[in-house]
Amino acid sequence: MLRANDIRGRVGVDLTAGDAYKIGLSFAAMVRDSGGAGVAVGRDGRLSSPALEAALVDGLTAGGVAVHALGVAPTPVVGFAARRFGLDGAVVVTASHNPSDENGFKIELNGARVSGDALAGLVASPGRKASGGARFMRDPIAPYMTALLDLIAELPPMRVVWDAGSGAAGPILQRAMTRLRGAHFGLNVAVDGRFPAHHADPAVDANLAQLSKAVRDVGADLGVAFDGDGDRVGFVDGDGVIVRPDHVLLLLARDVLVDTPGAAIVADVKSSRTLFEGIAAAGGAAVMAPTGYVRLGAAMRANAAPLAGELSGHIFFADGLTGLDDGLYAALRTLRALARAKLTLRDFRASLPPRVASPELRLPLDDARQRRVLDALETFAACDAGARLDRTDGLRLERDTGWLLVRPSLTESALTLRYEGETRAGALALDVELRALLRTGGVEADMPPLTPVSMRL
């Protein structure tokens, strides 16, 4: 269950209430050892979350920590509450976009995600009991909405469809919609851990089909979708066409660079060449960073960047409500950027170079076979005088005609694959090359049909 940035597993198979109690007890010791005493705890809408939350809180209080229980709340709102209430840590019971039978924990201490070796040490620690534990109920949504009011007040009337995906963003989204001017339409805003309409992962095209149809049906300007714990966001324009988060990041970068000319803008290695070139054209310094919450945040801080993001829909604003990724805040900043540029999202999409990219593809593979595929790409690139290999995260092979990426996933035993061609023919050639690399790596029998080349920008 131990991942790079969080803990996730199948409930009742990998993850039990006993595990949740142990994690709570261990984290309580970590908090107390750092001089802290209070922790915010929230949960997503999964059916297993209440029981896991109860066991986690039992462990935290047994370890001598004061727990400020927030109930169902998006991950960014839990982080916001920890800061607003002057707490030392935060835990969210969530498996983000994973299947409904899974769950887990995102853990934060002193404003930073507990990850890597620190997270492994937390899991390995037996924890210890201590006196002084307590439990309080807190409502984080009212102060969070108050903090959003200034931003909402700047927005002109718009027609927007909002899809909460039956996830934790639903309750706060319902409140926000009543404050926004124009016409706003909610989809799947009731929290339902069965995810009856579609899975809450806006990075998968199929999960945006309902949103796309609703945008066309009501004649909306755009549509916005959230993942299960509300920290990631996806977009479709007024034609119902998906606009990938890396392209939305370019829109936001142009807006941010008006106020902070010359600033660094950080994007992950899966992002489009259009983004990196566009940042430079707008006068910014484009920084390519490894994928992943912690690594992206580290690159953002190292470059004093006001903005960062990745293809999956995590978008970070240094001047945001938490300084971290927040789906609702990112969505409202996108609406503001469109208004300031006097653009529709459709117009913005149409202005981009006509490159052709695949969606993010994931191929389940064990570590040994992942290594074989990466070795095959190394060998392949060495024989191609026109190829350049970027090793920021996995291997990104760059040519004048396009690029392809092969990198190990941080959250599962899988390779993440993506490619982008300057033309449709170039993208199709990259698709063929990628299949050949996988065969050379000895995984042809395990290779599912790759998603057809997407003509969406």
User: pLDDT (tens digit, 9 = 90+) per residue, 215-270?
Assistant: 999 999 999 999 999 999 999 999 999 999 999 999 999 999 999 999 999 999 99
Poorest-pLDDT segment among 85-99, 113-127, 166-180, 359-373: 359-373
Superfamily of segment(s) 7-139: Alpha-D-Glucose-1,6-Bisphosphate, subunit A, domain 3 (3.40.120.10)
Poorest-pLDDT segment among 196-200, 337-341, 428-432: 428-432
Mean pLDDT of 299-311: 96
Mean pLDDT of 342-357: 95
Question: What confidence score (pLDDT) does residue 455 get?
Answer: 39
**Got the DSSP string for 220-267?**
-SEEEEE-TTSSBEEEEETTS-EE-HHHHHHHHHHHHHHHSTT-EEEE
Determine whether 96 is an active site residue.
Answer: yes
Amino acid sitting at position 166: S
Question: What confidence score (pLDDT) does residue 454 get?
Answer: 45
| 11's tokens | 């409930």
pLDDT confidence bin for 437, thresholds 50/70/90: confident
Q: Do 196 and 100 meet the contact criterion of CB atoms below 8 Å apart?
A: no
pLDDT confidence bin for 449, thresholds 50/70/90: low
Under DSSP, the state recorded for 205 is G
The class level of CATH for 356-446 reads alpha beta
Domain ranges of the chain: 7-139, 142-237, 245-324, 356-446
pLDDT confidence bin for 448, thresholds 50/70/90: low
| Spatial separation of the C-alpha atoms in residues 408 and 387, rounded to whole Å | 21
pLDDT confidence bin for 289, thresholds 50/70/90: very high
pLDDT confidence bin for 294, thresholds 50/70/90: confident
SS3 286: strand
The class level of CATH for 245-324 reads alpha beta
Better-predicted residue by pLDDT, 156 or 381: 156
Residue 334 pLDDT exceeds 90: yes
Mean pLDDT of 362-373: 88
Residue 111 CB partners (closer than 8 Å, separation 6+): 79, 82, 83, 323
Residue 66 pLDDT exceeds 70: yes
Mean pLDDT, the chain, integer: 92
**Got the DSSP string for 425-456?**
HHHHHHHHHHHHHHHHTT-GGG-PPPPPPB--
Q: Do 341 and 446 meet the contact criterion of CB atoms below 8 Å apart?
A: no
Convert the pLDDT of each residue in 162-193 to its tens digit: 999 999 999 999 999 999 999 999 999 999 99
From the list 26, 48, 49, 96, the catalytic residue is: 96
Poorest-pLDDT segment among 77-86, 283-292, 317-326: 317-326
Question: What confidence score (pLDDT) does residue 452 get?
Answer: 47
Question: What confidence score (pLDDT) does residue 444 get?
Answer: 66
pLDDT confidence bin for 410, thresholds 50/70/90: confident
Better-predicted residue by pLDDT, 414 or 214: 214
Indicate the fold that domain 142-237 takes in CATH. Alpha-D-Glucose-1,6-Bisphosphate; Chain A, domain 3 (3.40.120)
Helix (H) or strand (E) holding 104: strand 102-109
Question: What confidence score (pLDDT) does residue 317 get?
Answer: 95
Question: What confidence score (pLDDT) does residue 323 get?
Answer: 65
Judge whether 245-324 and 356-446 match in fold.
no
Question: What confidence score (pLDDT) does residue 457 get?
Answer: 32
Residue 75 pLDDT exceeds 70: yes
